[in-house]
Amino acid sequence: MRVSVRASSLRPSPTLWLYRLVGVLKSRGLDYYSLHVGQPGFTPPRDLMVRFLEVVSSRVSDLSLYSYTSPWGLLELREAIALDLAQHGRVRADPLGEVVVTSGGIEGLLSTLASILDPGDPVGFIVPAYFHFYSIARLLGLRVVELPVYPELELKADPLVDLFSRVKAVVIANPDNPTGRVLDEGVARLIADLACDRGVYVVHDIAYYTLRYEAGMAWPENYCRDYIVTVGTYSKDPGVPGWRVGFIVAPADVAEAVAHVREATSYNTPVPSQILILEYLRGGYRAGFLPRVLEEYSRRRSALIEALEEELPKAYYYKPKAGIFVYVNLEGYTRMASDKLVERLALEDRVLAVPGTLFGPGGESWLRLSFAVEGPERLREAVRIIARRVRGVV
């Protein structure tokens, strides 16, 4: 073998294949429907970017603009992150010793799990689970323990209690990807009690914490600070996934370990990216930007769901309370595995989606459909194409 077992065991991300396909379609001048994307369909606020360019231009001769920062990140940004999370209901963190800026949410997840678990340790996933959770677990040599919640996709007390009895850490996405499920206060309190009572870490992935529709935001951290790590990203809001900015908020000993792990990975998040997010949080840009984004996302979500109900009335879907996806079960129409269906939709119909098989066992009949990029009418057209395809497939 020319590559390690560690690398060869990683499950390829669907984004790699889909991005290659997008390149082929673009090179041929062909149209396609982007229901696969896990990133926003909106650019950041224009006035924010103008301000960012002014700040960077004023510092072109400042050596600190080009220098390493601490692996912890800029202190001003850590202070802004702690304040922002507190304004969203999370217990206030100490920016000096409990907040670390990371190069995106994925690095935050990897650094956190590397800091609290050793190879062979059991880690719990709620299935369906974001596919990068699996990649990180394999890379770190962790043993995955799965809690399936198909078909209702809701969290229940007894299975959670059992899961916490079998692992050293649990990763919970809230809001969830792919379902759009959010924790209610009762479940959040239960998770916190299990974490503190049993000494089991909870890695609370909040990537979509500001993209909520009918839901509030429940924080297990408010009931158990010693064993819960918050992991977030600015890839979704303000929508700069390629600029790689995220954060973790953790008990001081864990936060320090994460900072040390970062010294062996990216060392520090790019300085311009940190400056951009600092301006976004400190300058009040979200107040004018996010409501417009949520209004449009809500319109697109409604269009996608209405199309599913009209074109595929036997399909079961989970109405998301947050995020940018609708997770839908097509078992009533086809027995084709979702990865094969996605391949056919992409190559023959130019509709790009993500198969449920990528989110762990049980997703064979499910598709994740994103409403982040396409407008309402194109979402309806895409669903009509999917409906024509699955009606002719057994």
Q: Which ranges constitute the DSSP H helices of 117-184?
A: 131-140, 157-164
| Strands 143-148, 169-173: pairing kind | unpaired
Query: What are the strands, taking DSSP E only, across the chain?
Result: 33-34, 99-102, 122-127, 143-148, 169-173, 201-205, 228-233, 246-249, 316-318, 325-329, 351-352, 354-355, 366-370
Spatial CA neighbour of 368 closest among 18, 109, 10:
18
* pLDDT tops 70 at residue 360: yes
Is the confidence at residue 215, as pLDDT, over 50?
Answer: yes
Sequence letter at residue 206: I
Instruction: Give the pLDDT confidence of 309-343 residue by residue, as tens digits.
Output: 999 999 999 999 999 999 999 998 988 888 889 88
* pLDDT, tens digit (0-9, with 9 covering 90-100), for 216-266: 999 999 999 999 999 999 999 999 999 999 999 999 999 999 999 999 999
- Residue 34 forms beta bridges with which residues? 352
Question: Mind listing the domains of the chain with CATH numbers?
Answer: 5-44+287-391 (3.90.1150.10), 66-285 (3.40.640.10)
Q: Is residue 123 within a helix (H) or strand (E), and if so which, with residue range?
A: strand 122-127
The distance of Cα 12 from the centroid of its chain, to the nearest Å, equals: 17
- Give the global pTM: 0.94
What are the b/e assignments for 264-273, b being 16+ CB within 10 Å?
A: eeeebbebeb
- Per-residue pLDDT at 166: 97
Query: How much is the pLDDT for 394?
Result: 42
